[in-house]
Structure 1
C-alpha cells in the first residue's frame, strides 16, 4: 500500500447509515476520563474549556503496513488519513473560531505518534485503547479481525457539554469542512 492510496478515497466506498448509535450524545456532559496523548501528556476532555472538536476515527493506516483485506467493504471504515489531513489543513481556521482539535482512536499510541509525525498534524491524537471514554459515552464500535475499533464520529463540545454530533461521517475528507461551516454558522 503506498502513501497515495492512504490519502485518497476510492469512488465505490459503501456509505454508512445512521443506525441511531449516537442519538443520545447531544447535550451530554463529557465524562471525566483522562487519555494519553501523542505529546506524552494526558488530556481530560471533560475539563477542556471553550470549544473542542473531537473526531473519533477507527485506524490511521501506515504506508509500510500490508493492505487491510476487506477494510474498504466496511461502511465508514476507510478514510482516517484523509479525515486527519483535512483537520490539519483547516486547523488554523478552526482555531481562529476558538476551537481546539483532538483526534481519538483505540489504535496503539505508537501508531498514533507515527501518524502525527508523518502527516504533520498540528494537534494531539488521544489514545482510548482501553475504551474508557468510548464506554463512558456509549460510542459505537466495530470489529475488524481481532481489533475492536471506534466508529467514525465527530463531537463539538463547548465548556464540557456536547453541542453537536456528526454521525455517520461520510465522506470523511469533508468532515472538517462540515465542522467548520457549523462553527461559522454558530458564530454568525
Structure 2
C-alpha cells in the first residue's frame, strides 16, 4: 500500500460546523511533546504558526484499520504531510509549522524520519486540544482520533481554520495562499 497517494474513491468529509467556533479563540497554555524531544507550549508561539491536525499516520507493512478508507476525512495524513514537506521552503517565509496527532511521539518520530519532514510533529495523546478548544474527534474500532483540521495562529490567536480539509494533499497550498495574502 502506498500511503503517499490518495485513493480516487475516498469519501469527502462534510462541514458539520464542528470548528465554527475556533476563529478568534486564544490558544491557552498547552504543552505537547515534539519529535525533537522538546516540549512545545502552543499557547506561547510567536508570529504565524500553522498546526495541521490529522487522525493518524500509517506505517509501512502495517495495515490501516479495517474500513479506514470509508471514513470521510480519515485517509490522507501522509499525503498531507508530504505536501507540507514539499512546500516547506516557501511556507517558512511566512510561518512555522507543526503537524499534530494523538499518536505517541515514538510513532511520530518514525514518520518524521521516514517521510523526511523538515518540521516537528506534536503528540497530543491526552486530547488536550479537544478538551481546551472542543476540537472534533471520531472513534473507529474503539480508538478516538482527531478529525483533520488546520489552524493558522498569529501568536496564540486562531486567525484561520481549514475544516473540513479535502483533499488533504492540497491543504498546504491553500494554507500558503492564505498566508501570502496577509
TM-score (norm 2): 0.98
Answer whether contact 1:38 1:125 (CA < 8 A) is retained: yes
What does residue 185 of structure 1 align with? 181
> Cα RMSD (Å) of the superposition?
0.8
What does residue 50 of structure 2 align with? 53
| Structure 2 residues without counterparts, runs of 5 or longer | none
Dislocated runs of 4+, deviation >4 Å: none
Aligned pairs for 1:109-148 (under 5 A) are 109-148=105-144
Q: Counterparts of 1:134 and 1:100 in 2: how far apart (Å)?
A: 22
CA separation of 1:49 and 1:67: change in aligned 2, threshold 3 A: closer
Q: Counterparts of 1:89 and 1:28 in 2: how far apart (Å)?
A: 29
Q: Shift of the alpha carbon at 1:66?
A: 2.1
Higher helix share: 1
What does residue 44 of structure 1 align with? 41
Aligned pairs for 1:140-159 (under 5 A) are 140-159=136-155
Q: Shift of the alpha carbon at 1:159?
A: 1.3
Aligned pairs for 1:87-126 (under 5 A) are 87-97=84-94, 99-126=95-122
Q: Counterparts of 1:153 and 1:164 in 2: how far apart (Å)?
A: 11
Deviation digits for residues 2-59 of structure 1, max 9, x if unmatched? xxx2010011110000000000000000111100011100001110010000000000
Q: Counterparts of 1:44 and 1:10 in 2: how far apart (Å)?
A: 35
Answer whether contact 1:30 1:46 (CA < 8 A) is retained: yes
TM-score (norm 1): 0.95
